[in-house]
Structure 1
Amino acid sequence: MKNQNSLYLFAISFVSTIGGFLFGYDTAIISGCNSFLETHFSLTPSMLGWVVSSALLGTILGCIISGNVTDKYGRKKALLLAASCLTISAFGSMLAPQFLGNLENSYWITSSLDTSFIALVVVRIIGGIGVGITSVVAPIYISELTLPEKRGKMVSLYQLSITLGILLAFLVDWVVLNQAGENAGIISGSQVGFWDWLFVEELWRGMFGTEIPIALLFLILLLFVPESPRWQLVNGMEEKAFTTMVKIGGTAQAKMQMAEMKVASKEVVQGIKELFKPYLRRPFLIGILLPMFSHLSGIAAIMYFAPNILNESIKSVESSFLGAVLVGLVNSIFTFIAIMNIERYGRRKLLLVGVVGAALSLMGVGVLFAMGSNLVIIPLLIYVACFAFSYGPIVWVIISEIFPTKIRGLAVSIGSLSLMVTGFFITLTNPIFIETIKPAGTFFLYGALTLPAIWFIWKYVPETKGKTLEEIEMSWKKMNDKQQKEVK
């Protein structure tokens, strides 16, 4: 029975994290498209930054609406909305209006370059909305379904799915580039086959199109998962909540957790005003600053522009694509290491070790770029490894744990918004920084921006491993009561 319960939970978590897989896939797949988009659309560095970061603009919008959507309509319906956005984006990115080649015998609707560019940006924003909703709802959904002793590991599956999506996308980019050969991205002007149009002449379309089956799978599988039992209880569906809890942990565990959940759900909550109550000030601060610090280290820019950054050092397109695959592989391996050890060593220790390593390795990247070395990939991989076993999974775990159930959706959406806004500006400015202050200056900047995070984690982020969500909530209240007594 216990094995059946674990398999049931794993299956639910797997479905909900396909959205994270798509997030990672989209992040990395466009890194292979960048140079071809730059040529075909005649993009300046700032415009390249815009088309790449447009998905992150969508994630900001997704984060803004996700809190109300998931708290009002439920975790499952919010994820279905996200899946719909991701499916529309996958089709739309591949099928942006055609503006190059033999337009008299076109395979798709035609338009001007500007119209096609706008259409591409719009559908990427729509996809970003889906990613933004998923980034908020998936960790909440998993944390509300999972038993305390497994929660850190199961929520970390979301970050692992992102890294696996990144790895697969880097591999697909490399495969598409190699099969296109010397004709990759070259517009002949003559009539070509549909396959050659998608995967040779305008191969960025084919790269985007490989997202379609994953997005459709996400949408279909979501129809078969249950709603969050904690959300059901808060919204008066106690019987349904108990049934789901029994399937996850058995009858005895379900009765115990239901009793805790009932106590926590009886308190009156006042929406966003609740976040400013004295006992939630510290978790609110953690929920905003920890995600912000994670992206100030430059991870989004590195993943979106991996081949471009590596090409600045090794001056070889094919080698830079292979280097990007290696980045994705290291990212996945060390995320898996974090998942296997998060309940053993805890959130706080992994965070501190990883962030210190990230700061040092970013400085190392800057030094090697300044020296003109072609060994930049070594400290870059060390940085990716440090990020992957610390910031990567643990930010999602912590912000999904530290808030009360009734406002968890709203609170996590604010934390995700902080992460996405930071990622948007880091990604938007990366091509400009590379051109103006050069790669060395860019990585010195990312390293410097990582240093304050070490102090913040040491001083403010507590250990939460092994505690139920209700115990974590009560710990904030006890800490606040203690501080008030000390003041008196």
Structure 2
Amino acid sequence: MKERAGGNMLYVALIAMVAALGGLLFGYDTAVISGAVGFLRDFFDLSPAMTGWAASSALIGCIFGAALAGTLSDRLGRKKTLIFAAVCFFISAVGSAMPRSLTEFVLFRILGGVGVGAASLTSPMYIAEVSPARIRGRMVTVNQFAIVLGMVVVYFVNFFIERHGAGISETWNLNFGWRWMFASESVPALLLFLLLFLVPESPRWLVKMGREKIANGVLTRVDGPAHAEHELREIRTNLAHEGGSLAQLFQPRMRILLIIGISLAILQQVTGINVVLYYAPEIFKDLGADMNAALLQTVAVGLVNMTFTVIALYTVDRFGRKPLMVIGSAGMGLSLLTLGFGFFFRATGAWALIFVLIYIACFAMSLGPVVWVVLSEIFPTRIRGRAMALSTVVLWISCYAVSQTFPIMNDHPVLVDTFNHAFPFWVYAAFCAVTIFVVLRYVPETKGKSLEEIERMWIE
């Protein structure tokens, strides 16, 4: 990163890393359940439906957090909204570790979900608004990487807690191990809370609130006085053109954008990604692995997810959005079909881990990051924030629906007798085929086009 006179790229990088802790907690909070759900089910003696509720309850909070984040960040500022998210994460981590009943556990998980929903919108928004345009893309990708890193970290944490507990007694993990898994999130949550007091507020929000002198100081420190002067003019111009309402998406020319955005948000989830991320140990146990081996295999899932997310960041602008989504969806569908046949014919062995990893790799380099790229590009500037908020809410609703219904489909006596756990994987494979059709038929290729060119394309 080339540094300009008066600018400080190290300062920008440190700000981005602090904000990206919100993304890391996003990944940490959503994936911590993977190692604990089996112990929770046994500890509270849960039915399949209640197991799904325990695993997916945080997603209810995600829906509300995403819906509130836009309003909170506009009224309180991006920084204070992230502080609010950090408080939610911390209280949730402590409370989820000490519930006296399933109801208490669910309430604290919902609170953590509010933090996830708020961070999922606010962290990338804050990074984008602080970073200079020439490195904005790279800085925002730090948040996407942090989300996946948070998942990898918690997979390791869950593995070592379970391994430690198994060495103490047969019942330690059932009574205490899962509690420490949730409590471990309090450490990064507290770190985010403290570090946020050391970073500035978003210059764009400061200008919007009439605090141009403070905004100018932040922009000057970021990239020098010339950049500050230019950026202030750009912010004033953009703010003058804001004010579009979500109702504008229902106008005839814009309606197709709403359909495409919501469709991509739904399809990203109903192709089964969070089933693998949340229930991976249980899936591996169904295929014959013991708990320790299942958690170790889940670590491999996280590492592959992180590796191919990095690959996607370097290929999305080279190969285009549509090719990555089509190829990735095809790979995901074939992997899910194979996993389903493996369950159906009661086959066990290392092959299952291989196809799970192929599925994760295909998602991480396609629907995972690329859907967010497309959503951030296709909506007109004047309504982008509101449209992104709507799409994110729909995405979390879809995520909740998938996470809630998987245990029911996977453990339903009739379905198990007929398909032996294969049924849900074939359902998700079918949605992969739907995704390929939708992308090929309706989603435009936006590679190499400016946001203004994309907007003119829809208007014409």
TM-score by length of 1: 0.84
Worse-matched range after superposition: 76-85 or 254-263:
254-263
Q: Deviations over 1:10-69 (max 9, x none)?
A: 222211221221222222222111121111111111111101101111101111212221
CA distance in 1 between counterparts of 2:219 and 2:448 reads 18
2:95 paired with 1:125:
no
AA in 1 matched with 2:50: M
1:74-113 to 2 correspondence within 5 Å? 74-97=77-100
Q: Percent identity?
A: 38
- Corresponding residue to 1:135 among 74, 97, 120: 120
Where 2:373 maps in the other structure, the secondary structure is helix
1:393 counterpart SS class: helix
Alignment partners' CA distance in 1, 2:112 and 2:430 = 32
Partner of 1:104: none
CA distance in 1, matches of 2:242, 2:307: 43
Structure 1 residues 246, 454: CA separation in 2 closer, same or farther (over 3 Å shift)? farther
The 8 Å contact of residues 93 and 208 in structure 1, kept in 2 or not, is answered as yes
Instruction: Give the aligned residue type for 2:96.
Output: S
Q: Is residue 2:386 matched to residue 1:383?
A: no
Task: Say if 1:400 and 1:412, in contact at 8 Å, map to a contact too.
Answer: yes
Output the aligned Cα RMSD.
2.5
1:349 & 1:184 partners in 2: Cα distance? 51
Asked whether the 8 Å contact 1:17–1:158 carries over to 2, the reply is yes
Deviation (angstroms), 1:183: 5.0
Name the CA distance, whole Å, in 2 between partners of 1:64 and 1:232.
Answer: 22
Which of 412, 435, 439 pairs up with 1:453?
435
Count residues in correspondence: 449
Q: What is the Cα deviation at residue 463 of structure 1?
A: 4.8
> Which stretches in structure 1 are left out of the alignment for 5+ residues?
98-115, 188-198, 483-488
1:175 — aligned with what?
160
Instruction: Give the 3 Å change call, closer, same or farther, for CA 148–348 of structure 1 in structure 2.
Output: farther
State the shift of 1:205 in Å. 0.9
Distance 2:357 2:16 in 1: 29
**Do the aligned residues in 1 keep the contact of 2:380 with 2:455 (CA within 8 Å)?**
no
Matched position secondary structure for 2:164: helix
**2:57 is the alignment partner of 1:58:** no
Structure 2 stretches of 5 or more lacking a match? none
Distance 1:338 1:476, change over 3 A: closer
Contact 1:348 1:462 in 2 (8 A): yes
- Deviation string for 1:358-378 (max 9, x for gaps)? 222222222222232222111
Q: Out of 297, 300, 311, which is 2:285 matched to?
A: 311
Aligned partner (choices 220, 226, 232) of residue 246 of structure 1: 220
Q: Residues 402 and 155 (structure 1 numbering): CA distance in 2 closer, same or farther, change over 3 Å?
A: farther
Distance 1:405 1:40 in 2: 50
Cα deviation 1:327-371 (Å, max 9, x = unaligned): 111111111222233444444443333223222222222222223
Task: Pick the aligned partner of 1:227 from 179, 197, 201.
Answer: 201
Deviation at 1:224, TM superposition (A): 2.0
Deviation, 1:389, is 1.5
Q: Is the 8 A contact 2:66 2:389 kept in 1?
A: yes
Q: How far apart in 2 are the matches of 1:147 and 1:344?
A: 22
Q: Matched residues in 1 for 2:444 and 2:230: separation?
A: 25
Deviations 1:450-483 (A, max 9, x none): 222223333444455666xxx51x334422442x
Equivalent position SS for 1:2: coil
> By how many angstroms is 1:85 displaced?
0.7
User: Do the aligned partners of 1:13 and 1:154 also contact (CA within 8 Å) in 2?
Assistant: yes
- What letter matches 1:129 in structure 2? V
Aligned-partner residue type, residue 124 of structure 2 = P
TM-score normalised per structure 2: 0.89
Displacement after TM superposition at 1:280 (Å): 4.5
> Is 1:146 equivalent to 2:131 in the alignment?
yes
For structure 1, which segment, 423-432 or 407-416, has the greater mean C-alpha deviation from structure 2 after superposition?
A: 407-416
Question: Which deviates more, 161-170 or 71-80?
Answer: 71-80
AA at the equivalent of 1:447: A
More moved, 36-45 vs 397-406: 397-406
2:29 to 26, 30, 52: 26
How far has the Cα of 1:447 moved from its partner?
A: 1.0
| C-alpha separation in 2, matches of 1:348 and 1:148 | 25
CA distance 1:234–1:351, change in 2 (3 Å): farther
Which SS does the other structure have where 1:96 is aligned? Answer: coil
1:475 aligns with 2:453: yes
Pair 1:448–1:215, CA change in 2 (3 A): same
Partner of 2:70: 67
Contact 1:71–1:407 (Cα < 8 Å) also in 2: no
Q: State the distance in 1 between where 2:326 and 2:206 align.
A: 36
What does residue range 157-306 of structure 1 map to in structure 2 within 5 Å?
Answer: 157-181=142-166, 184=169, 186=171, 201-267=175-241, 269-277=243-251, 280-306=254-280
Q: How far has the Cα of 1:200 moved from its partner?
A: 7.3
Alpha carbons of structure 1 residues 299 and 477: separation in structure 2 relative to 1, 3 Å: closer
